[in-house]
Structure 1
Amino acid sequence: MYRKIVFPVDLTHIDQLARALQTAIDLALHYKAEICFLGVTGTAPSAIARTPHDYENKLAAFASEQGLAHGLTTSFKACLSHDPTIDTDKTLLAAIEELGGDLVVMQTHAPQALDYVWAGHGDTIAARSQASVFLVR
């Protein structure tokens, strides 16, 4: 049913992605699907990487670790954004389409008051992506 699962990942909060990651792994194993780990980074140094190339290497290592640990086919795509705080949704949507993902698995949080004013990334991806979207709390 699914052949490519796209898993948007924020490497600075990897410890908070356990439930969504396990969901993506379970689905990939069940459907014998690939998981593509998708990350967005800026050009400025961040807490996780000093350069976009450094970020790409860390995302590649994470994808490889997951593939080896769970016997999965994995890939990765690091997207560069001039302003990730504003462009993340647009960048994710474009990458999901480019990758040909047919399922997106994302971590989300319980709705808070501001979410009714500004939608979270998961809300936006679910509303605008052509792929099926599985939001995990």
Structure 2
Amino acid sequence: MYTHIMVPVDLAHTGRLDKALTCAADLAKLYGARVTYVAVTAAAPGAVAHNPAEFATKLATFAETQRTAHGIDVRSHAITSHDPTVDLDPALLKTVGEIGADLVVMASHVPNLTDYIWPSNGGTIAGHAKVSVMVVR
């Protein structure tokens, strides 16, 4: 049913992604799908990495830990943006098509009052992606 699952990750908060990561891995095993972990960083030094190359290496290492933990076929795809806060949703939506994903599995929070004013990333991706999106809370 699915052949390529995209999983957006925030390397600064991987501890909050356990349910989504497990869900994506289980779906990958069920359908024999590849999983691509996607993350967005700034060109400037940040809390996770000093530069985009270091960030890409850390994302690749993260993907390898998922391969080892779950026994799935993985890739990583790092995106560099001038302003990840503003560019996150458009960058993720663009990447879905670029990598050929047919499912997006992403973590989200329980909606609160501010989500009526500013939609969550998961809500935006689910509302605009041309593929199926599973938002995991």
Q: TM-score, normalised by structure 2?
A: 0.98
Q: Which residue of 1 aligns with 2:136?
A: 136
* Structure 1 Cα separation of the partners of residues 81 and 90 of structure 2: 10
* Structure 1 Cα separation of the partners of residues 96 and 41 of structure 2: 16
> 2:7 matched to 1:7?
yes
**SS of the residue 2:92 aligns to:** helix
> How many residues are paired up?
137
Alignment of 1:10-21 (within 5 A): 10-21=10-21
* Structure 1 Cα separation of the partners of residues 45 and 67 of structure 2: 28
Alignment of 1:74-85 (within 5 A): 74-85=74-85
RMSD: 0.6
* Structure 2 Cα separation of the partners of residues 12 and 96 of structure 1: 22
**SS of the residue 1:17 aligns to:** helix
Q: Which residue of 2 aligns with 1:89?
A: 89
- How far 1:69 moved relative to its partner? 2.1
Structure 1 runs (4+) deviating above 6 angstroms are none
Q: Which residue of 2 aligns with 1:35?
A: 35
Question: What residue identity is the alignment partner of 2:44?
Answer: A
**SS of the residue 1:118 aligns to:** coil
- Residue deviations 1:55-104, cap 9 Å, x none? 00000001111112221100010001100010100000001111110000
Q: Which residue of 1 aligns with 2:107?
A: 107
Report which stretch shifted further, 84-93 or 61-70: 61-70
* Structure 2 Cα separation of the partners of residues 47 and 12 of structure 1: 7
Q: Which residue of 2 aligns with 1:122?
A: 122
* Structure 2 Cα separation of the partners of residues 107 and 82 of structure 1: 23
- Gaps of at least 5 residues in structure 1 are none
- Residue deviations 1:13-68, cap 9 Å, x none? 00000001100010000001000000000011111111010100000001111112
Identity of aligned residues (%): 46
